[in-house]
């Protein structure tokens, strides 16, 4: 049962507890060979509503008025509250051998012996916390697991075949809303598709405001199997990162959009792309290439943060003497965080390189602010753990 709580949600102070990034969750699985998946039963109903808030959940039916004693579906803060609960419950083992996304739990291990121990610990933990799983959705001792719309095994990560089937059977969109729905599903797997934004550009153009809906040959070609649907249905297996070193970022820019590829040890980790913003259409070629580098550093910051060495391959190198100062200023935010980066040109260009080393002359704010921060916590009685 799901009640329409839209009016209550408008008055509710939003809980900004962050949900984990799907990419970050999958990065933990590198090297795992055994998997077990647990899905909690009735999800939110396992969490009690505070007595003072019970009247707020009231709803009326022809049989009378009722109130929820457990957290109902449809409340704006339900996902964040339950995610917070699961993170606190699984905190001792989180990202060591278990990942959690709301009510989905995945246990992963490198060997049979480890997996038996890990599985026992998690089942005992759930029993102790009185969190109950759905027996029909137990999946233990898997060598390949379907999780959050992806298939994961020891070789890497790939698109869930059941989702591919949904794309294959998608009918031709007739309205901008139907195009958005299709791009929403396909876009969830954009990390698997090189130049996704460029391929989908004829479709995304039709979703813009005041844009007439004209389904022409370009849109038909982008939608059909030879392009977007074909590429999704034949998406490659992406490798999972091994450590934090030896990353290579390939960047490219055109008048259609920006495209990047993240690789490690000659294995593709992810693709990323986006179309140009309105003001970017007036950029010079050099500025677009620089924008592609910044875009890659932003979107893969969780991979590249703190790396000892990485290589960025881009076409802006022939103008490097003019661009060096501008590049360093533009990427000043990243220069402090990236230990060292080598920027080289692709084949066919003269090879130059610049190193973005840690900025040593910047003041160390942490040494000055840390004591004051601790003191403020004591005044506010925050938990220091």
User: What HEC string does 268-312 produce?
Assistant: EEEEEEEECCCHHHHCCHHHHHHHHHHHHHHHCHHHHCCCCCEEE
User: Do 37 and 79 belong to one domain?
Assistant: yes
User: Do 140 and 178 belong to one domain?
Assistant: no
**204: domain CATH number?**
3.30.70.270
Burial state string for 245-271 with b = 16 or more CB within 10 A and e = fewer than 16: ebbbbbbbbeeebbbbbbbbeeebbbb
CA distance 39 to 46: 13
User: Do 131 and 174 belong to one domain?
Assistant: no
Q: How long, in residues, is the chain? A: 385
Looking at the whole model, is its pTM more than 0.85?
Answer: no
Cβ-contact 105, 93 below 8 angstroms: no
CA distance 120 to 125: 8
User: Do 168 and 217 belong to one domain?
Assistant: yes
**Residue 233, domain member (yes or no):** no
User: Do 279 and 337 belong to one domain?
Assistant: yes
User: Do 189 and 259 belong to one domain?
Assistant: no
Cα→Cα distances 252→17, 261, 273, 274, 383, Å: 35, 9, 9, 11, 47
> Which of 227, 257, 287 lies at the terminal end of a domain, its last residue?
227
User: Do 126 and 41 belong to one domain?
Assistant: yes
* Cα 323 off chain centre by: 32
User: Do 32 and 108 belong to one domain?
Assistant: yes
User: Do 42 and 79 belong to one domain?
Assistant: yes
How many structural domains comprise the chain? Answer: 3
**186: containing domain:** 158-227
Helices and strands in the chain, H and E counts:
14, 14
User: Do 209 and 305 belong to one domain?
Assistant: no
Q: Spell out the per-residue pLDDT of the chain, length 385, in tens.
A: 778 899 999 999 999 888 888 888 888 888 899 999 999 988 889 999 999 999 999 999 899 999 999 999 889 999 999 999 999 999 999 989 999 998 899 999 999 999 999 999 999 999 999 999 888 878 899 999 988 888 888 888 887 777 777 667 778 888 998 888 888 877 777 777 777 888 888 888 888 888 888 888 888 888 875 456 666 667 777 787 877 777 888 888 888 788 888 888 777 888 888 888 888 888 887 788 888 888 888 888 777 776 666 777 766 555 544 544 555 555 555 544 444 555 555 543 323 222 222 223 333 333 444 444 445 444 444 444 4
DSSP state of 67: -
Kindly give, in sequence order, each residue whose CB lies less than 8 Å from that of residue 12, ignoring residues fewer than 6 positions away. Answer: 75, 76, 77
**Residue 377, domain member (yes or no):** no
Kindly give, in sequence order, each residue whose CB lies less than 8 Å from that of residue 310, ignoring residues fewer than 6 positions away. Answer: 245, 246, 247, 248, 249, 304, 338, 340, 341, 342
**What angle do the packed helices 161-168 and 176-187 form, to 10 degrees?**
160
């Amino acid at each position: 049962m799901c009640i329409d709580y839209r009016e209550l949600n408008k008055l509710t102070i939003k809980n900004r507890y962050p949900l984990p990034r799907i990419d970050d969750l999958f990065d933990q699985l590198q090297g795992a060979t055994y998997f077990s998946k647990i899905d909690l039963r009735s999800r939110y109903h396992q969490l009690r509503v505070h007595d003072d808030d019970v009247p707020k959940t009231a709803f009326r039916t022809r049989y009378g008025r009722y109130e929820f004693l457990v957290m109902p579906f449809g409340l704006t803060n339900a996902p964040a509250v339950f995610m917070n609960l699961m993170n606190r419950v699984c905190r001792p083992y989180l990202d060591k051998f278990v990942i959690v996304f709301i009510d989905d739990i995945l246990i992963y291990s490198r060997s049979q012996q480890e997996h038996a121990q890990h599985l026992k610990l998690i089942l005992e933990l759930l029993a102790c916390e009185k969190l109950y799983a759905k027996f029909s959705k137990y999946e233990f001792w898997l060598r390949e697991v379907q999780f959050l719309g992806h298939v994961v095994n020891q070789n890497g990560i790939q698109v869930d075949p059941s989702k591919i089937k949904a794309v294959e059977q998608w009918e031709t969109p007739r309205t901008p809303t139907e195009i958005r729905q299709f791009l929403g599903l396909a876009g969830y797997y954009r990390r698997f598709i090189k130049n996704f934004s460029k391929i989908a550009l004829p479709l995304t153009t039709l979703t813009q405001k005041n844009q007439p809906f004209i389904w022409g040959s370009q849109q038909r070609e982008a939608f059909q199997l030879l392009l977007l649907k074909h590429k999704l249905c034949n998406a490659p297996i992406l490798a999972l990162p091994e450590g934090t070193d030896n990353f290579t970022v390939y960047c490219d820019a055109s008048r259609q959009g920006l495209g990047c590829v993240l690789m490690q040890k000659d294995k593709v980790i992810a693709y990323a792309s986006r179309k140009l913003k309105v003001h970017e259409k007036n950029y010079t070629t050099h500025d677009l290439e620089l924008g592609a580098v910044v875009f890659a550093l932003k979107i893969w910051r969780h991979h590249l943060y703190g790396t000892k060495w990485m290589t960025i391959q881009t076409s802006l190198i022939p103008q490097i003497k003019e661009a060096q100062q501008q590049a360093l200023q533009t990427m000043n935010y990243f220069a402090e965080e990236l230990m060292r980066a080598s920027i080289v040109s692709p084949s066919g260009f003269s090879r130059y390189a610049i190193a973005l080393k840690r900025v040593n002359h910047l003041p160390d704010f942490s040494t000055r602010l840390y004591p004051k921060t601790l003191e403020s916590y004591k005044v506010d009685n925050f938990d220091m753990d």
